[in-house]
Structure 1
Amino acid sequence: MQPHISSERQSKAMARLDVTETFHRISFPGHLHTQESLSYATGFQFQDSDTLIVTYPKSGTTWMQEALTLVFNKGDSTLAHSMPNWARAPWLEQYYCPEVLRASRGPRIITTHLPYHLLAPALQGSKAKVIYVARNPKDVAVSYYHFHKMANFLPEPGSFKEFLSKFLSGTVHYGSWFDHVKGWTSQARNKLNFFYITYEEMWQDLRGSLERLSTFLQCPLVVEELNSVQQHCTFSAMKENSMVNYTLIPEEIMDHTKGQFMRKGKIGDWRNTFMEEQNRNFDEVFKAEMQDSQLRFVWESPEKLDSEARTVTQNPALHGA
């Protein structure tokens, strides 16, 4: 059952659909974020038994929330089909989080889109497990653009060209993708109980990714349990599950006539949106921003890379060169 959120707080949130909160020079949708809730997040008292999912928006957050729910429940999908994902793994920086956590039982799964520098003080000295999910920023940009078109609590995105320009400059809500990834992967991974995985790894080898995840979580699964986890957190299964596909959200908040929250779930779909000039410009910005990063990004399947060998030499930045 979903933890109770007071009707008064819900009404206030509805009244803030057009509000933008600015916190440490980063914009957040005021519908779900307040100065109070953002300050609560940065001063949060983590427990050693907590598991924190960290993502930039549209990078596989829902997927990881579902995976953790199923792993911790040994493949039993009862909770995954009876409680919304935001009640199972609330966003730390959103206004309803304290009420949800007060009602929670057992080890807590918490979600955040906050950059590392805002949570570093709260996590210092903590043994909480941190899972960071990264995704090809080109696919992130396309997915985020479509989400803006249906989410009434986000600004109108304008044309994709206009939105992409804001994305590359880091002036979209939640800030810069580049700063987010670099902050968490270059600093947090050496200081925290840290697990890094990409959306693409999960897409290419879901079973192997789940095995790695269960090992990190110290939650071993027998074959039947792993089979069940894998079955229930495929894209097709999640798309049909109202507890994760956001169809429970009222039309006033998320206009489902303008798109689906679970849209495609593919990798490399950015090619259907990017113009050639936009792709070149993106590659230049990526190379400049990520030149000091030690991460090796492999955004495509091995078969795709083999068939596009020439693209690798022309576009080394997105292939980890």
Structure 2
Amino acid sequence: MCGHQSHHKLYAYEYIRHINHCSKTDCCQPNYTMTENPKTLLGLNVINGFTWPPLVHDTNPEKLANFKVREDDVFVLTYPKSGTHWTQKLVKNILFEGNNDKIRKDSESNPLGPIEFGDNYKKYDSLSTEKPRVMMIHVPVDVLPRQVFEGKGKVVFVIRNPKDNLVSYWNFLKDRQYLEEYEEWDSCFEASLRPDMLYGNWFDFNLPYYENHRNKKNFLFLTYEEMKLDHKGCVLRICDFLSRPLSEEQVDKVVENTSFSSMKASKPVLFFQGKPTYNLLRKGVVGDWKTRFTVAQKERFDAIYNQRMEGTALAKRIKFEI
């Protein structure tokens, strides 16, 4: 045991996270010693002030920043629960012209999750150069591979309105057993407003990207609400961005393959610690926040939203209902 410890206060108890070191540090798994509470929680990993899931190792942010980008790489970049898997499926459908057999074969041969998890960056690095790599990624702007900002690769960045985003995020987090405060809606709402929220808060994650990089040629910014309002139009925008023109028939096939009903029927799941544990699609609607936010929470969030978004270009594109 290396002696490295991170201490986080979790309500009335503390957990202590120990990292076992071995000759292959990237494969090490954390052990947890709990005190004052019988429930075992996975905890989080804070690296240079940013809060990551425990599957992100201490050296991963640096490794990702220095990741070698290929010219035809496509990064699907989002704050978690913003339509990541939907967008990834859109991109892959476009690259494979809506051919389900080719898409299925690619998914079976490359069943990789977010590039920031574990040693996924190594696995992506080893993929064949014969076809573009499509990489799901949730990282702050200072961790995105630096070569992207030099114009290499392309980024499809999707932003979801922060109220719906939070409701979806909570429904995901409440069963993950990271922190107790993520299990109940009210405490997760409070946590989401702080900078130490898992993956940071919505504002700190999205604003630096959009305000500073929205006009870069290798960035395409879409919103979840735009994708819901004009599914086909967004498919065509991604086609144009990736320089992948499709026939009308192929476009219609991509739209069909990536409809919510079609994707839900395929039952996509998240593989968490090697096991399928969570259906990734829940409702796929805009405005679901109204079923969860109290009046007081709405008023408080709106005040913070107005303050953080005042004068930003992003404010013009956010829709809380359609």
**What TM-score, normalized to structure 2?**
0.80
Query: Matches of residues 106-145 of structure 1 in structure 2 within 5 Å?
Result: 106-119=131-144, 121-145=146-170
Partner-residue secondary structure (3-state), 2:150 = coil
Cα shift at 1:245 = 3.1
Residue 56 of structure 1 is aligned with which of 79, 101, 113?
79
Deviates more, 1:80-89 or 1:116-125: 80-89
Residue 155 of structure 1 is aligned with which of 167, 171, 179?
179
Cα shift at 1:12 = 4.5
CA deviations 1:158-193 (Å, max 9, x no partner) are 421111111112322101210111111011224451
Partner-residue secondary structure (3-state), 2:245 = coil
* Higher-strand-fraction structure: 2
Cα shift at 1:47 = 1.7
The answer to whether structure 1 residue 274 and structure 2 residue 296 are counterparts is: no
**Preserved CA contact (<8 Å) 1:117 1:183:** no
For 1:47 and 1:179, locate their aligned partners in 2 and report how far apart those are by CA, in whole Å.
28
* Higher-helix-fraction structure: 1
What is residue 99 of structure 1 aligned with on the other side?
Answer: 123
**1:277–1:210: structure 2 CA closer, same or farther, 3 Å change rule?**
same
The answer to whether structure 1 residue 21 and structure 2 residue 45 are counterparts is: yes
**1:79–1:28: structure 2 CA closer, same or farther, 3 Å change rule?**
farther
CA deviations 1:240-276 (Å, max 9, x no partner) are 224x333xx36986655xxx43111111101000101
For 2:31 and 2:258, locate their aligned partners in 1 and report how far apart those are by CA, in whole Å.
34
What is residue 56 of structure 2 aligned with on the other side?
Answer: 33
Partner-residue secondary structure (3-state), 1:264 = coil
Deviates more, 1:158-167 or 1:274-283: 158-167
**1:227–1:175: structure 2 CA closer, same or farther, 3 Å change rule?**
same
| Structure 1 segments unaligned to the other structure (5+ residues) | 1-7, 305-321
Letter of the 1:146 counterpart: N
CA deviations 1:210-256 (Å, max 9, x no partner) are 011101110001011111111111111111224x333xx36986655
Cα shift at 1:110 = 1.6
Structure with more relative contact order (C-alpha pairs < 8 Å, separation 6 or more): 1
For 1:145 and 1:265, locate their aligned partners in 2 and report how far apart those are by CA, in whole Å.
14
For 1:240 and 1:14, locate their aligned partners in 2 and report how far apart those are by CA, in whole Å.
35
Partner-residue secondary structure (3-state), 1:66 = helix
Residue 171 of structure 2 is aligned with which of 146, 149, 159?
146
For 1:184 and 1:76, locate their aligned partners in 2 and report how far apart those are by CA, in whole Å.
33
Partner-residue secondary structure (3-state), 2:75 = strand
The answer to whether structure 1 residue 217 and structure 2 residue 237 are counterparts is: no
**What TM-score, normalized to structure 1?**
0.81
**Preserved CA contact (<8 Å) 1:46 1:126:** no
Letter of the 2:47 counterpart: F
CA deviations 1:27-59 (Å, max 9, x no partner) are 1111x2101222211111212211111100000
For 1:227 and 1:70, locate their aligned partners in 2 and report how far apart those are by CA, in whole Å.
11
What is residue 87 of structure 1 aligned with on the other side?
Answer: 110
Deviates more, 1:189-198 or 1:39-48: 189-198
**1:252–1:267: structure 2 CA closer, same or farther, 3 Å change rule?**
same
Letter of the 1:261 counterpart: L
Percentage of identical aligned residues:
27
Cα RMSD after superposing both structures: 2.7
Q: For this pair of structures, how many residues does the alignment match?
A: 287
Cα shift at 1:9 = 9.3
Letter of the 1:294 counterpart: A
Cα shift at 1:77 = 1.5
**Preserved CA contact (<8 Å) 1:47 1:126:** no
